[in-house]
Structure formats: C-alpha cells, structure tokens
Amino acid sequence: MSIKLRLHLLLLVAFLCPPQFSTPQNHSVAHSGDRIYLDVVVSPVSGPPVAGLLQQQFTILDNNVPQTIASFEAIEGGQAPTEVVLVLDAVNIASREAAIERQQIGKFLKADGGRLSYPTAVAILSDKGLQFQEDFSQDGNAISTALGRYTIPLRTMGAAAQSFRISFQEFAELVAREHDRPGRKLILCVSPGWPPLFGLKNLRDARLREQVFGNIVELSTQLREGQITVYSVNPSALGDIAPGLTIPPTNHLRSSNPKVYMVETSKPSDVRIEDLTLAVIAAQSGGLVLMPGNDLAAELQKCVADAEVYYEVSFDPAVGDQSYEYHHLTIQVAKPGLTARTRQGYYSKPWPKKSAAQSERPGGATQNASPPYVDWPAAELVERLPELKTLQPAPDQKALPIVLQNMGERMDNFVRDIGDLIAHEDVTQQKLNADGKVKATERVQDNYLILHHGYEWGASAEYRMDEKGNHLDSIGLGRGYLVTSGYALSCISFSTAAQSQSKFRYLGEQKLDSRDTYVLAFAQQPGEATFTTVMRGTGATELDLLTQGILWVDKNGFQIIRMRSDLLMPSKEMRLDQLTTELTFGEVHLQDVANPLWLPSHVDVYIEIGNQKFRNLHLYTNYRRYRVSANMKPSQ
C-alpha cells in the first residue's frame, strides 16, 4: 500500500493510494447547502439595473465583516430560469378597489402585445384561500382573459386577526410551493398589506414570542434557499393616507427611506408586531416596497425588470456558537453612484445533534455521522482535539478574511519561488496491532526530489532516488506496508485561487513553541474542491476523497507552520476508516530566493484501512536546489 500526493499547479491535484494516496481533483456538482447565494441588483438612484460589473467591484459584508466571494456570475437578458407569481389580494381590500387592481394587472399582462418576459401565473387571495387562475405561461393575453372571467367574491368585514391569519398562512404556503421549483422566483403581491399582529394581545408572552420568532426564521430561510424575492406593491392611489381602501381602514406610510422596513429580529425578545408584515418580508428578501399610485402596471414592470440584469454572488458563512443567529448582509459596489440591493440578512443553522454512538475522534471510523470541524462548537472541538487544548477561542469571525487573504498571498509566493528541490528523507513505515502497538517496522532513507515539469507538481513530479541517482519504487509495498509520499507541496491548496474550494472558520489564537499563531479549521466543499485526495489501490482503482483539518498560521508572516488533516468522511468502497496526517513545517533558506520557504520537516501519517492500522513517519532535512550538471573530460 502506498500514498502519494500529486499536485497540478492549476488543478492542485493530490493523490492517496491504499496502496497509494494523493490529494486534489476537480469535480462539478450542485451547490453546497451551507453556502449563501445572493441575487444582487445594482442600479443608480433612479434608473434601470446596471450590467457589466466585475467580481472585484463587489464586497460582501456579513455583520460588517468582509467575506471572500466564493462564486460570481453576471446574469443578463433573462438567461437564467425565472418564474413570476402575481398575487391579487382581495382579502385586505374592498371589491370595488380590487376591480381597479384587476384592470391595471390586465394592462401589465397585455403590454408588448401580451408577450411576457418570463413564465407567469396569477393567483387571487380571497376568504377561500389562494386560487391560481392558470398554469405558468408567457401568453399575457390568455392569462388576462382567464383573470377577467374570475368573479372576486365580496369581502365580508372581519377582525384584523382573521385577515392576518388568512393572508400569512396562504403566503407561507405559496412560499413553500415555490421553494422547490427550479430557478429564481419573483412573487409580486398587489396588496395594501395584511394587518400586523395587533390581534395577538399576548405578544409579551415568552412562548408566543418563541412561536413568532420560529415563523420569522423559517420564512426567511425558505425565501433564501428557494431563491425567492418578494415585492410589495401597494395600490393606494392617494398621498400618505388612503382611508377607505382597506377593511378595516388602514393608514399607509409612503416612506422613501428603506430603513423603515429594516427589521432585524435576532432573538424571540426582539419580536415586534410589524415583523411579519408584507412590506418587511419584501424588503428582507431583497425586493421592493412600492406605492405606484395610478400607474400600477408600470411598477409591476419595474419589479420584473430585476430579473433582466443581476448578479449571483455567493460566500461561505462563518460558523458561530449560536443557532438561529441573525446575520445582517450588505453589498458594496466600488463604482460611484451605484447601490446594490439584495436580501438584508440570514439566520445561521442550528448545530447538528450527535448521537452517543458517534466516534470520539472526529477523523475516526464513524466520521460520516459527524459534522465537519468547521461546524463544531469551539468548546467541543477543543475537547476532542488535544492539539487545541491551549487555544484562546475567537469571540467572532472578524479576523478570518484578512488571515485568509494574507495566507493566500504567502502561498502564491511559495508557488512562484519553489522551483526544483532535493532533500534527504528518512521514512519509518510501521504496521500496528489492533491496540495501536508496533508489530513490524521498516526504515527507508533516500534523496527526495521535487521537480517542476510544465504545470505539474506533487506525486507526478516527486521522486525517491538512491545515492547513485537511481529511481526507487514503492519500497515496502510488496511486504504489506503502506507507502506514503508527496507531502512537500500540500499547502498549495490554500493559495488564493484555491481557497474558495474549502470552507474556513477562525477558531482563535494559540502559541506553538515561541510563535503566536492564528488557528483555522477547514473543510473541503463537495462539488467545489479541485484538491481531492485520491486513493489508488493495487489494481489501479482510484477513489476521490475530501479532507478537513486544522491550520496553524504564523501571526507575523502568515505562513502555515503546522497542519492536521482528516477525511471528511470514510470510504466504504476502499474500507478506509481513517486517514490522519499531521505536518510540521520548517524554515528553508535558499540563495536564489529572498524570503525563506516553509516546507515539511516532519510528517506523521496514521491510517486505518481494511481492519488494519499503519503509521508512517517522514523526516525531511537538507533542502537545496536540484540541478543537473554534466562533467566534460578533456580529450587526451
């Protein structure tokens, strides 16, 4: 059995093999569920959305902390799948005014010859619930005809609490219905808004606040995950007050200040009567709150225009120790006169509950039942990993972006300066008993070459040679040992270009010997990582594996001075239960490089595979430039 690390300079591939291991390979699958995706509309103070912006012009702030953009896509011309649901509210408005609304909606549907930009469906909210008139269609004329045949029932006078119950319940069911449909969804609610929670007279009751807070969190999460944007289009045609339009009469504030609708409910005690109103939900989702006056059709078109030009931006959220923690989001655009609009925030997910049967060691045999390191509460992670016992936990994630930026730049310089190297390697290969005691040992000493061939690095360009320069095969493989190699360049997977392939969390600070370090947890993202660990069996069978781990980053130079990696989950196919690698890096000075390189000095690899246990210890010394020379003898 042997393990190799094969890194491609661009794809950063590393291989693992039981008989051989390597690391990183590129694959493309669906988005990770933990990643936050935002639909961002950028526009001037007055005017249509702006196209042609670049990723470097965007900054994401999560609770005012800059985040690393994981993905970016500019979407123009309706190229992304989009649906529009147009809701006519006949519960909170009198039938006479509802007829006027229907007339304006008909005008919107028939514009441009009745050719709608996106599949559209119209639904009417009445005392009987939410009723769709037709299936989704881009034929506005046909939808308008169907709407004209519908008789809106007379609205009976009812209590505000009853109106709220009908309105919110039907809206929640609509969101649940749209959540699982593909693409982006725009819900345009033509409504003066439903009554707030005035009917809930016992809102001070703790249990009631908990229930309302749960509704707020669930609705926010459904809208975000379902890529749903809500628009509140209030048909009031008068100035600041529209008496008589609703039942009972309601005052409608026509505020141009978007902060009016910025309600950030962080905990049950923060719950207010306006938290579940339509305008607040719309603003929170990244939509618009409009009072069009007499031109309702034009404002509906303004809402739909949001899907013509926008930007899909994503980032990996920091993990805190609080479940359902509210995070305020801001998008900044580095171009004068432009502002960005997206959803106002999100709620963090609760911590997964672990069963009693879960492994005591996160990298162990039952790792598939554990969340990755980045999702563990800090105190629990420290308890499970002895290396972190002196960790000073971080109070927040504010330091993470700057640490990642500087660490990435340090790795970028490493890639630039590494060149061709040779080192002395001393490897001790061990077979272990079931209780972990050594039952057999073999020692190998060699010259270890790290060569750069075009764009390839790692196992495909790392070789073992004897003193005479002869290539050494996988020594010990035939005698049942596990052969490991290729760790010299393992940190390249944390270069700037590769960081988006992993999720990171700032754990805190820790002193290693005399050095102060930042401590980060990382986990490769399924479908994102191009640095997979590839296990290769004796029959040339290969299997991609993802890893997670801990990084210790020097506070002064931002170089990685220690790393621990484990499997993200075990492999049943290869019967691989555990692969834990601990690397210690040392300073290497080369005459042709101004700054020292940090390369592995000690590597400890522990593996459990097929009910067998192995440990390999690598010691690297005397790194130096490798140059091939030819001696010319003078002719006699």
pLDDT single digits (tens) 162-191: 788 888 888 988 998 898 888 899 999 998
The pLDDT value given to residue 586: 92
Say whether pLDDT at 505 is over 70.
Answer: yes
Say whether pLDDT at 330 is over 80.
Answer: yes
Closest CA to 68 of 316, 397, 311: 316
The pLDDT value given to residue 320: 56
What are the tens digits of pLDDT across the range 224-283? 999 999 999 988 653 333 333 444 433 333 333 444 455 677 777 787 777 788 999 999
Instruction: State mean pLDDT over 452-473.
Output: 61
Asked if 188 and 86 count as a contact pair (C-beta separation under 8 A), the reply is yes
Instruction: State mean pLDDT over 40-56.
Output: 92
H helices, E strands: number in the chain: 8, 34
Q: 320-324, 333-337, 442-446, 499-503: which has the minimum mean pLDDT?
A: 320-324
Say whether pLDDT at 88 is over 50.
Answer: yes
Q: How far apart are the first and last CA of the chain?
A: 52
Q: 225-234, 279-288, 411-420, 534-543: which has the minimum mean pLDDT?
A: 534-543
Q: Give the pair of three-digit tokens for residue 485.
A: 């190699």
Q: Which residues pair with 190 in a beta bridge?
A: 88, 233
| pLDDT-based confidence at residue 445 (cuts at 50, 70, 90) | confident
Q: 57-66, 113-122, 245-254, 382-391: which has the minimum mean pLDDT?
A: 245-254
The pLDDT value given to residue 363: 39
The pLDDT value given to residue 379: 83
The pLDDT value given to residue 231: 95
| Cα–Cα distance, 331 to 64 (Å, whole number) | 10
Convert 401-432 to b/e letters by CB count within 10 Å (16 or more is b). bebbebbbebbebbbeebeebbbebebebbbb
Say whether pLDDT at 366 is over 60.
Answer: no
Q: 10-24, 141-155, 234-248, 390-404: which has the minimum mean pLDDT?
A: 10-24
Q: Which amino acid is at 222?
A: Q
DSSP 576: E
**What is the set of domains in the chain, with CATH numbers?**
2-27+382-625 (2.50.20), 82-307 (3.40.50.410)
DSSP secondary structure letters along 499-540: GGGEEEEEEEEEEETTEEEEEEEEEEPTTT-S--EEEE-TTS
Residues 6+ apart with CB under 8 A from 570: 365, 366, 367, 368, 576, 577, 578
Instruction: State mean pLDDT over 211-236.
Output: 89
Instruction: State mean pLDDT over 335-344.
Output: 94
Say whether pLDDT at 410 is over 50.
Answer: yes
Residues 6+ apart with CB under 8 A from 392: 508, 509, 510
The pLDDT value given to residue 174: 92
| Cα–Cα distance, 186 to 83 (Å, whole number) | 6
Say whether pLDDT at 434 is over 70.
Answer: yes
| pLDDT-based confidence at residue 469 (cuts at 50, 70, 90) | confident
- Cα 218 to chain center, whole Å? 19
Q: Can you give the length of the chain in residues?
A: 636
| pLDDT-based confidence at residue 38 (cuts at 50, 70, 90) | very high
Task: Looking at mean pLDDT, say which of 415-424, 469-478, 589-598 comes out highest.
Answer: 589-598
Q: Give, for 231, the enclosing helix (H) or strand (E).
A: strand 228-233
Report the share of the chain in percent with pLDDT over 90: 34
The pLDDT value given to residue 155: 59
The pLDDT value given to residue 202: 52
The pLDDT value given to residue 17: 32
How far is CA 134 from each of CA 110, 146, 177, 457, rounded to the nearest angstrom? 16, 7, 15, 59
Angle subtended at Cα 363 by Cα 530 and Cα 548, rounded to the nearest 5 degrees? 25
The pLDDT value given to residue 538: 55
Asked if 263 and 275 count as a contact pair (C-beta separation under 8 A), the reply is yes
Q: Mapping DSSP to helix (H, G, I), strand (E, B) and coil, where does residue 190 land?
A: strand
Q: What is the average pLDDT score of the chain?
A: 78
| Cα–Cα distance, 255 to 22 (Å, whole number) | 60
Residues 6+ apart with CB under 8 A from 422: 447, 448, 449, 450, 623, 624, 625, 626
| Cα–Cα distance, 99 to 95 (Å, whole number) | 6
Q: 418-422, 432-436, 515-519: which has the minimum mean pLDDT?
A: 418-422
Identify which has the larger pLDDT, 523 or 455.
Answer: 523
